[in-house]
A = this chain, B = another copy of it.
Amino acid sequence: MRISGLADASGVAVATIKFYLREGLLHPGVATSATQATYDDSHVRRLRLIRALTGPVGLSVQQARAILELVDDPGHDLYSTLGRAVGALPPTTTAADAADPDPYPRARAALEALEQVYDPRFPAVAQLETALAAAEDAGLPISPERLLAYGRTLRELAAYDLERMPPEPRAAVEYTVLGTALYEPVILALRRLAHQDVAARLDLGQ
């Protein structure tokens, strides 16, 4: 298809497609003349990914580029690549003070209680620390019992997600990034709606 067809198929404006081509975020089409090129489904797919990252996921073009580079070149250590790709998603966390021997005490205790393997450089560790501290500050700390209930349930869901990860490395990075960022709002909305359903079946007084 021509660039106008690509714009129709992807819902991305021609000027924006040209910008992504210039920036190298989108791979060139096959040149059919000095001024024209032809594009295929791989371009539609890539534009969907760029649009998701810069739209609902909320990344800048530069932040999206960092993730796209990992999709394009996952390297040989897929575990590390997936960690870096997810770590590049919001929310941003500030790096720990290098002099602090135990910068995430709440998260460390929680992950030890859950017997989970983790890398303290993974931003979700700082994210968990901040979230646990905020709950504690508000006078509603996560009890050890609740931590186990939440942690075990979420680990089941994580196993479900990973069982469905495509084997091809580039597709795996794309699946992991989008499945993390785009399914998080689904999970939060489903949780609120599950609360409503459970509450509706209780006698809370009308």
Contacts and interface: CB of A to CB of B under 8 A. Distances in A.
Contacts of A155: 194, 197-198
A196 B153 contact: no
A161 interface: yes
Nearest to A194: B158
B79 A204 contact: yes
Interface residues of A, number: 82
Given A48-B139, A140-B175, A128 B194 contact: no
A196 B119 contact: yes
A135 B86 CA distance: 17
B199 A79 contact: yes
Contact of A138 (B76, B161, B178): B178
B48 A158 contact: no
Contact of A196 (B118, B160, B197): B118
A193 B116 contact: yes
Interface stretch (A13-21, A27-35, A94-102, A180-188): A180-188
Q: How many copies does the complex hold?
A: 2
Contacts of A140: 175, 178-179, 182
Contacts of A162: 195, 198-199, 202
A180 B128 CA distance: 16
Given A162-B195, A204-B78, A187 B138 contact: no
B135 A192 contact: no
A111 B196 CA distance: 11
Given A157-B194, A187-B188, 9 more contacts: A52-B134, A78-B204, A116-B196, A118-B196, A128-B190, A140-B175, A149-B157, A151-B194, A153-B157
12 contacts: A76-B206, A83-B196, A83-B199, A110-B190, A116-B193, A128-B186, A154-B191, A158-B195, A161-B198, A162-B198, A184-B188, A187-B187
